[in-house]
Amino acid sequence: MEYQTQILIVMFTYLALLVLWGLYQGRKVKTDADYAIAGRSLPGWAAALSERATGESSWALLGLPGFAYASGLIGIWTAVGCVAGIVTAWAAIAWRLRAEAEHYQVKTFTEYIARKHGEVEKKIRTVGSLTIVFFFFFYVGAQFLGGGKTLYTMFHLKPQIGMLITAAVIIPYTIYGGFRSVVYTDVVQAIVMITTLILGPIVGIIALSSRPDVFAHSIFEALQMAGPQYHSFTGAASGFALGVTIMGGLSWFFGYLGGQPQLSMRFMAIKDERQAKIGRNIGIVWTVIAYIGALSIGWIGIALFGPKGLADPEYVMPKVMLELFPPAIAAILITGAIAAMISTADSLLILSSTELSENLLRTEGKDERQALWQSRLVTAALAIIALIVAYLSPSNLIYTLVGYVWAGIGGTFSIVILFTLFWKRYHGRAVLATIVVGMVFTIGWISSGMEQVVTARIMTFLVAGMTAVVATMVLKRKEGEDIS
């Protein structure tokens, strides 16, 4: 049986089981709080695996291996920046956000910030939610586009058909089970992902030493043979270019410090302090192993195919799996990668829908059942509109808007969360100033082309931080605002 046929059979079986698993978990959703934040009762292991699957998905399985394949050792700087940010988030932020979510009895990311800052609650809900919903709505569209393109590349399905498959997988269980279904399907993805990132390097290193038909017989030899830009931690760069390269990699650190709502919601949903510690340990160990595995797969690709052997570096992982494993096993590992990428859209969709329904559309007087059905209807509407937008809008427009997310949302809201957690003087009016200035600056910086000089991931974090400090000092706290 041709390997593509095997992968197709495995993939559709896997995706069908995933949908059924998500629907099964949705049966346990009885209230609006269950739908939006899993009733704040997630075990630590589920929160950690879901957070890692949501945070990494296509990055750990396609992006980072591809970067390592194309650039060699210099890819370590990006990995160090990401790992440092993730470890810091789990060690210093996760348990605090969990405790704050419980204290304020909140269901969404923006609701926590708003409730914390008292008398300007309504304005923060409006500004924060509109910002998140707008950009993450297009992020969902980008995931539909990405799913379509991936299925086209792997199986030559029309991108439009691939988009419909992507939507058909995630929409049913996301609408039905909300955050809870999303989390527990992510758990499955995280297990398959880490299996791939462990088995691939182990089998690859063993295979290289015994095969005569490869470019090199070890990772070290492959990097040496590929040239100085591959076996140097500086990529053969020097001076200002070296500084830009290293800082560009390390700058990923800033986006993980509580500023990505889809990740912070996992922290907020953890059941108690004990489970938060379990989640911390699992999240950190998973991350370290995954990043070592992702880099190794990219470097093994150099050893197998040579530095110029692949037309698209981001498909080094599927190529390595097909080279190392029998088609049936490779199909399972590759399917995990495709499914993880496709299902990233579920986390973004439920985040957007709950922000919209809880902070912008919710009215007083609705009972839990009415609120739950409103949330489901909003989720369905957003999913359908996002799919239509992905069909009709130019893909470069969607990807441009998504490009603002990591720097704009991540850098800006990281400052908001850090200052909210650690600086008692920080107040609501300063929060509003931080959000507006951070997002406007990011759009202006990237649009002007300055992103090529210094990444907005650093600049937005610095500008948002300075705005937060100045606004806190200059603007007066509104009377009655909570300072606890």
The per-residue pLDDT for range 58-73, each reduced to its tens digit, is: 788 888 899 999 989 9
Helix, strand, coil proportions of the chain in percent (round to 5)? 85, 0, 15
- pLDDT above 70 coverage of the chain, percent: 94
- Residue 136 structural domain: 3-394
Among 445, 379, 387, smallest CA distance to 411 is for 445
Band of pLDDT at residue 414, cut at 50, 70 and 90 = very high
Instruction: Please compute the mean of the pLDDT values over residues 197-223 and round it to a whole number.
Output: 90
Instruction: Report how far residue 179's alpha carbon sits from residue 358's, in angstroms, rounded to the nearest whole number.
Output: 13
- Overall domain count for the chain: 1
Identify the three-state secondary structure at position 42. Answer: strand
Which CATH number does the domain housing residue 18 bear? 1.20.1730.10
Which pLDDT does position 417 carry in this prediction?
97
Q: Count the residues in the chain.
A: 484
> Is 194's pLDDT higher than 80?
yes
Residue 460 lies in a domain: no
pLDDT tens-digit readout, 311-328 = 888 889 988 998 899 888
Residue 154's Cβ-side half-sphere holds a number of Cα atoms within 13 Å equal to 28
CB 58 within 8 A of CB 317: no
- In three-state form (DSSP H/G/I as H, E/B as E, the rest C), the secondary structure along 247-279 is HHHHHHHHHHCCCCHHHHHHHHCECCHHHHHHH
- The answer to the question of residue 469 being in a domain is no
Which whole number is the average pLDDT over 82-96?
95
Structure token pair of residue 48: 């950690």
Q: How many CA atoms lie within 13 A of 264 on its CB side?
A: 30
Per-residue confidence at 422, pLDDT binned at 50, 70, 90? very high
- The interaxial angle of helices 428-447 and 121-155, nearest 10 deg, is 40
Residue 333's contacts (CB-CB under 8 Å, 6 or more residues apart) are 192, 195, 196, 199, 200, 321, 325
- For residue 42, give every residue at least 6 positions away whose Cβ sits within 8 Å of its Cβ, in sequence order, or none: 50, 183, 266, 269, 270, 271, 275
d(CA 117, CA 484): 9
- Residue 1, pLDDT > 90, answer no
Which pLDDT does position 119 carry in this prediction?
Answer: 78
Q: What is the mean pLDDT of the chain?
A: 88
Cα 326 to chain centroid, rounded? 30
The separation between CA 128 and the C-alpha centre of its own chain, rounded to angstroms, equals: 19
Q: What is the mean pLDDT of residues 281-290?
A: 96
Q: Answer whether 186's CB lies under 8 Å from 173's CB.
A: no
Least confident of 87-91, 275-279, 406-410: 406-410
Of residues 96 and 452, more confidence is placed in 96
In a domain, residue 449? The reply is: no
Cα torsion at 434, 440, 443, 448 (round to 10°)? Answer: -120
- C-alpha 131/C-alpha 431 separation (Å) is 13
pLDDT band of residue 482 (cuts 50, 70, 90) is low
Residue 238 pLDDT class (50, 70, 90 cuts):
low
Question: Is residue 204's pLDDT more than 90?
Answer: yes
Domain-located, residue 464 = no
Give a yes or no: residue 400 inside a domain. Answer: no
Predicted local distance difference test score (pLDDT) of residue 236: 59
CA distance 165 to 157: 10
Give the model's pLDDT for residue 179. Answer: 95
The predicted model scores a pTM of: 0.92
Task: Kindly list the distances between the CA atom of residue 64 and the CA atoms of 124, 249, 296, 325, in Å, as whole numbers in the listed order.
Answer: 35, 11, 10, 21
State the pLDDT confidence band at 197, using cuts at 50, 70 and 90: very high
Within-domain flag for 473: no
Q: Tell me the pLDDT band of 138, cut-offs 50, 70 and 90.
A: confident
Q: Mean pLDDT throughout 399-410?
A: 80
Confidence category of residue 479, pLDDT binned at 50, 70, 90: low
Within a domain: residue 141? yes
pLDDT for residue 277 is more than 60: yes
**CA 334-338-339 angle, 5° bins:** 115
Question: pLDDT tier at 343 (50, 70, 90 boundaries)?
Answer: low
Compute the CA torsion angle 397, 400, 404, 407 (nearest 10 deg): 170
Residue 385 or residue 143, greater confidence: 385
Q: What is the pLDDT of residue 365?
A: 61
Residue 189 lies in a domain: yes
- Percentage, residues of the chain above pLDDT 90: 55
Q: Is the model more confident about 165 or about 287?
A: 287
CB-based burial of residue 277 (10 Å sphere; 0-12 exposed, 13-18 middle, 19+ buried)? middle
All residues at 6 or more sequence positions from 421 whose CB lies less than 8 Å from its CB, including other chains: 93, 96, 97, 100, 258
Query: Cα Rg for the chain, rounded, in angstroms?
Result: 22
- In the numeric block, the tokens 């992510």 are attached to 186
Q: 481 in helix, strand or coil? A: coil
Closest CA to 22 of 140, 181, 151: 181
**Which residue in 428, 331, 305 sits closest to 12, CA to CA?**
331
